Structure 1
């Protein structure tokens, strides 16, 4: 029973880290896209 609970906690931890990495990559993608569009706009105004 103790092992079962421990494995459950580990599973939750794994899920959490996976979610964090997913969010991190998403944020980087959004930042990159914003940066790209910003640089494009800057070039257009120039």
Structure 2
């Protein structure tokens, strides 16, 4: 087994809807958009 195959197997796969994320094979970017006015506590000004 190649090192990259072993890493992919160790990190696993996450299924979300019809998508399959194979950790270690590529880079994934996630963002959070919070639209509530009281986000992150404090005045925000």
TM-score scaled by length of structure 1: 0.24
Structure of greater Rg: 1
Tell me the TM-score normalised to structure 2 length.
Answer: 0.25
Higher relative contact order (CA 8 A, sep 6+): 2
Higher helix share: 1
